[in-house]
Structure 1
Amino acid sequence: MALRRATSRLSRDLNGLLAPRAIVPAALQDAAPIVDDRGPASGLGGVRFGSQDAVKQRMKSVQNIQKITKAMKMVAASKMRSAQTATEKSRGMVKPLVRMLGDMPAAAADKNLTMPISTDKGLCGGINSTVSKYARVLHRMNQADGKDSSVIVIGEKAKLQLARDFPENIQMTFADLGKVKITFSQISQVADDILKTDFDAARIIFNRFVNSISFKPTIATILAPDSLERNLDSGDLDAYEIEGPDRSELLLDLCEFQLAATLYNAVQENNCSEHASRMMAMENSTKNAAEMLGQLTLMYNRTRQASITRELIEIISGASALEG
């Protein structure tokens, strides 16, 4: 009898909170729990506790991913600052050469060399796709004009993309240049290997760093000594009187140094753009993880509320049955 009276009192108290006529309240209809098919139903209301555990586990996974992306953003920001300093210094090597020898992107050449510079790692936005697209278009334009066209790739990402289109035209591939601190002597060794190939015009494709949210695809043209001799009017070299056999030797030295300096600047520019792009990508990923975590939290709360509501309905139903 005492149990029956206690149950009656509990039933009257709950009737003030829940409508006894509705088997499933409106709040429960709007927030149906996730059904977990992995195990039998548990609890008074038949709600599968596995569904709450699944949402909670997913929330934990998203939180861990958010921590990783936030840490990667901070690392990329730190690397970008040091890379930006090195990039600004490398520009001081290229600007005097451009003023002296000129910039001739449309110079005619029978033997063309295309050098796209990409990254070795991913998670840095679309900068690699942009470089590969420019290299693909430039290579096909040279082939359409009936000219020799070869490719030297710097970076694994561009290699993977371009190898699907014209693997037979890729002469060399350089990777892991940014694994250690980039130095001019390191890039000079790469330039020596490139100079062993036969070309009239080499075009380096890279992402020029503008600011932390902007990168400009750029093509830098390097001419061989014979081609440079025919296009000296584009620069200020004619202002200097250079005569005799030393002229050809000087042009050769200038072309070799221009290739090394331009390549060094291009690698630094692309390296800085990589860190800035990765910083932006990780920031967006962190924001997306926060939004997903908010949605999962709402889903978890609704699932938990539905479970509690169903249990209360079972209690009311049992109390009503005892009274009857």
Structure 2
Amino acid sequence: MLARSSFGRVGSAAVATPANARNMATLREIELRLKSVRNIEKITKSMKMIASTKLAKAQRAMQAGKQYGLANAELFQHVPAESPAKRKLFIVVSSDKGLCGGIHSSVTKATRRAFADKESEVEQDSPVMVIGDKSKAQLSRALPNNLAMSFNQIGRDIPTFADAAGVADLIISSGVEYDSIVIVYNKFVSAISYESAVVEVDTEKMLKDAPGFKAYEMEDDVTKDLAEFALANAIYAALTEGHACEQSARRNAMDNASKNASDMIGRLQMQYNRGRQATITSELVDIITGASAL
């Protein structure tokens, strides 16, 4: 009986917590959160500076890579398609890195729209190859049966023509059947915007059947090498432009994250100041009340 009464008194004493102690605990939590948000702000500002530096290099590489794409476009002007190809090979260009907004979702959505669009006449079993782990993870859920091949560790730094040539060689030697090749990539509009774009690359068979090429007597190896080189050119142009878009999107994302962290720091600092002021006022009231009682 004595033990029960003692336990009851101890329990009631533990439940009754002073108001000052609760305020101090809340202030301590706010202080820890302020420290955490300040550390996040330092990280996002550093990442923004790094992305800004890389963006300048990526834009210079993009200007050089665009010349390869323009050469391809001029070549394919003389190869009009006699009939639209239905079994298309989609090459989706993304990257392995994140923290760059919805840039990977942009090419994924464009690929899904191409399969969902009835007017495009794309066969539902058309193969898809992905450059980059981010879009691969998204398309493996949306189009799991179409995913034929994926590439990673491409363009970790500025993409080179050797990277594009290696990808083109693996695609041609993969044994996947297709009528034409469609490259889905992010097009650089400005330093703050981008959009998904599609470029179609002619295959060896399309080059052989083109009236403009039939006028010249060429060996089979020449047409084959030309088709492979044109594919490498198109992939290189898409890789360099997509890399520039990625660095631009990452810089903008880190800039927005830094601004959000600054706003959160301001709100938490105001909340901390108000709580601290309330605690000091409560302590002063206790002191004055005690002094008046004496």
- Relative to the length of structure 1, the TM-score reads 0.78
- The correspondence of residues 67-216 of structure 1 with structure 2, limited to 5 A, is 67-102=42-77, 108-141=84-117, 146=123, 148-196=125-173, 197-216=176-195
- Corresponding residue number in structure 1 for 2:28: 53
- Corresponding residue number in structure 2 for 1:254: 226
Amino acid at match of 1:243: Y
Q: 1:231 to 1:318 in 2, by over 3 A?
A: farther
The alignment partner of 1:164 has SS state of helix
* Alpha carbons 1:111, 1:149 under 8 Å: kept: yes
- The CA deviation string for residues 245-280 of structure 1, in whole angstroms up to 9 with x for no partner, is x16544333221110000011011111110110000
Report runs of 4+ in structure 1 exceeding 6 Å deviation: 103-107
Distance in structure 2 (CA, Å) of the matches to 1:105 and 1:303: 72
Please tell me whether residue 281 in structure 1 is matched to residue 253 in structure 2.
yes
- The CA deviation string for residues 101-152 of structure 1, in whole angstroms up to 9 with x for no partner, is 1297996113211111112111101111110011112134479755641100
Distance in structure 2 (CA, Å) of the matches to 1:106 and 1:77: 46
Gaps of 5+ in 1: 1-38, 233-237
* Alpha carbons 1:109, 1:201 under 8 Å: kept: yes
- The CA deviation string for residues 127-178 of structure 1, in whole angstroms up to 9 with x for no partner, is 1111001111213447975564110011111110010122221110001112
The alignment partner of 1:168 has SS state of coil
Among candidates 204, 211, 214, match of residue 225 of structure 1: 204
* Alpha carbons 1:112, 1:148 under 8 Å: kept: no
The count of corresponding residues between Structure 1 and Structure 2 is 277
Distance in structure 2 (CA, Å) of the matches to 1:279 and 1:186: 25
Please tell me whether residue 243 in structure 1 is matched to residue 216 in structure 2.
yes
- The CA deviation string for residues 15-42 of structure 1, in whole angstroms up to 9 with x for no partner, is xxxxxxxxxxxxxxxxxxxxxxxx9856
Distance in structure 2 (CA, Å) of the matches to 1:165 and 1:267: 23
- Corresponding residue number in structure 2 for 1:272: 244
Gaps of 5+ in 2: 1-14
Which protein shows a greater Rg? Answer: 1
The alignment partner of 2:142 has SS state of coil
Distance in structure 2 (CA, Å) of the matches to 1:48 and 1:174: 55
Percent identity of equivalent pairs: 36
Please tell me whether residue 293 in structure 1 is matched to residue 265 in structure 2.
yes
The alignment partner of 1:66 has SS state of helix
Distance in structure 1 (CA, Å) of the matches to 2:170 and 2:242: 20
Distance in structure 2 (CA, Å) of the matches to 1:130 and 1:319: 69
Q: 1:280 to 1:289 in 2, by over 3 A?
A: same
* Alpha carbons 1:112, 1:147 under 8 Å: kept: no
State the 1:181 CA deviation: 4.2
State the 1:48 CA deviation: 3.1
